[in-house]
Amino acid sequence: MNLNSKNDVSSSVRVWDLGVRTFHWGLVTAVFVAAMTGFFGSPDSLSIHLIAGISICLLVLFRIIWGFSGSTYARFRTFLFSSNSVRQRLQDILARRHIRYLGHNPLGAWMIFALLLTLTLIVSTGAVVLGGVFKQGPLAFMMSFTTGRLVQEIHQILAFGLVGLIVLHLLGVAYETIIGKEKLISAMISGDKPALPDVAPPLPAKARPVVAFIVFAIFGLGGTFGVASFAARPGLGVPTASVDPLYAKECGACHFAYHPSMGTSAFWGGILGHLDQHFGEDASLPDGSRAQLAAYLKENSSEHWDTRVAHVLATANPNEPLRFTATRFWTRMHREIPDKVFASKAVGFKGACNACHSDAKTGLFAPQNIEIPEEARL
C-alpha cells in the first residue's frame, strides 16, 4: 500500500490518527491543570489536582495500549530509535542538515518515552503522597507519613523535571517549525503532514480501536476496582474510634474537644497539670475525672497515630508549649488569614479549628474539608 497515493495532488499523509491527537491535547490540558494546582494551588485545589492526576494516569494507559494498536505512526515500533540514530540526529542538527521525518524523529521519539516514563513516575509518587501524607486513596492503608513526606520531595523534583522536559519538547517543536519549516502544530490538530516522496514509510498498520477499547476497558475497570477496594481500607495509623464521651463533655464545654491525636502525651500532661490556670480560665476537674482523662489522652496521644496533624503539631513552640496555634506548622499554614477572621463571631479564636475544618473532630484535617465561614470573611 502506498500511503502517499491517498490524497494524490496535495499529497498529504495522515500521520497522527485521532487517538494520538486526542491523547496529545488531552494530556496538555491535564498536565497544565495538574501543574497549576500543584505548584500554585491551595489545599482546596487538591481535588482538582487529583482529577488531573487520574486523567493523566488514564491517558498514559491509553497511549501505551495505542502504541500497540494505533495506526502506523502511533505504534511504538515505528519510533523505537537506537542511541546511534539519536546521536546522528543531534549531529544533523548541529551541522544544519535538515532531514525530514514523517513520524517522530529520533530525538522527538526519545522525548515521548521520557515524558511517558516521567508521567508514570509522577502519578505513582502522587499516589504514595496521597496515601502517606493525607491518608487518602488506594495506598493510605499501607503508607506511613514519613514515607509520604519523603516521596513528596521526589514527586516535586519529578514535577520540575517534567517542566524541563516540556520546555525541551517545545524547543524541539520550535526548531522543527522555524528551521525545518514543518507545520508540526497544525499537523497535531489535523493529523496530516505533506508527504515525503523520497522516504519509504514504515510498514503500515491499521488502527484497531475496538481492540484498544477492550484492553483499555479491562485495565481501566480492573484498576478502578482495585483502587476502590484498596481505598476502602482504613488508613495506616488513622484513629477511627469516636472521642471518649467524658473527654468530649469536659473538654468540649468552652471550645471544641481537640482530638487526642493532636497532642503528644507530654502536651496533654501539661494541659491537665494546670487546669486551674487554663489560659486564664479555671477548668479544674474532680480528681477522678482528671485521672480518667489523663489515661485516655495518654493512650491516644499523637505518638500512637500516623496522621498529618499527629506529626506536624508534635513539635511544640517552647515559648507557648501548650498551644497548637503556636507551633511553626500552624502559624505557617494560617499566616494569610487575617486576625479579624479568627476574632469574628463565627470563629471566635485561633483554636476553634472546627469552625473552618469540618472534619476537625476526627483529627484528620483533610485539605478538601477546609472552608472559612462566610460570615467570618465579611
Does residue 64 interact with ligand HEC by CB under 6 A? Answer: no
CA atoms within 13 A on the CB side of 209: 4
370 lies in the binding site for ligand HEC (CB under 6 A): yes
Buried b (16+ CB within 10 A) or exposed e, 242-281: ebbeebeebbeeeebbbbbbbbbbebbeebbeebeeeeee
Rounded to an integer, what distance in angstroms lies between the CA atom of residue 132 and that of residue 101?
45
Q: Rounded to an integer, what distance in angstroms lies between the CA atom of residue 79 and that of residue 124?
A: 26
User: Cα(269)–Cα(16) distance, rounded to whole angstroms?
Assistant: 67
Q: Which parts of 300-319 interact with ligand HEC (CB under 6 A)? A: 308-309
Q: Grid cell 476537625 — which residue?
A: 360
Residues that bind ligand HEC (rule: CB under 6 A) add up to a total of 37
* Residue 378 found at the interface with ligand HEC (CB under 6 A): no
Rounded to a whole number of angstroms, the minimum distance from the CB of residue 359 to ligand HEC is 10
- Closest to 209 in 3D by CA, of 28, 24, 69, 356: 69
Q: Smallest distance from the beta carbon of 303 to ligand HEC, in angstroms?
A: 16
Based on the shown chain and the rule CB under 6 A, indicate whether residue 43 belongs to the binding site for ligand HEC: yes
* Interface of this chain with ligand HEC, residues 233 to 272, rule: CB under 6 A: 250-251, 253-255, 258, 271
Q: In this complex, which beta carbon is closest to ligand HEC, that of residue 52 or of residue 271?
A: 271
**Residue 337 touching ligand HEC (CB under 6 A):** yes
**Residue 342 within binding range of ligand HEC, rule CB under 6 A:** yes
Confirm or reject binding of residue 283 to ligand HEC (CB under 6 A). yes
Contact call for residue 375 and ligand HEC (CB under 6 A): no
CB atoms within 10 A of CB 87: 12
Listed in sequence order, the residues at least 6 apart from 364 whose beta carbon sits closer than 8 Å to its beta carbon are 135, 238, 307, 309
Among 39, 204, 221, 281, binds ligand HEC (CB under 6 A): 281
> Given the rule CB under 6 A, which of 147-155, 203-211, 224-232, 276-284 is the region that contacts ligand HEC?
276-284
Q: Which is nearer to ligand HEC, 200 or 241 (CB)?
A: 241
Distance CA 291, CA 263 (A): 17
- The verdict on 185 binding ligand HEC (CB under 6 A) reads no
Q: Does 48 bind ligand HEC (CB under 6 A)?
A: no
d(CA 25, CA 42) in angstroms, rounded, equals 26
Is the Cβ–Cβ distance between 31 and 56 less than 8 Å? yes
For the CB of residue 140, give the shortest distance to ligand HEC in the complex, in Å.
14
Which residues of the shown chain bind ligand HEC in the complex (CB under 6 A)?
A: 42-43, 250-251, 253-255, 258, 271, 278-279, 281, 283, 293, 308-309, 323-325, 333-334, 337, 341-342, 347, 349-353, 355-357, 365, 367, 370, 372
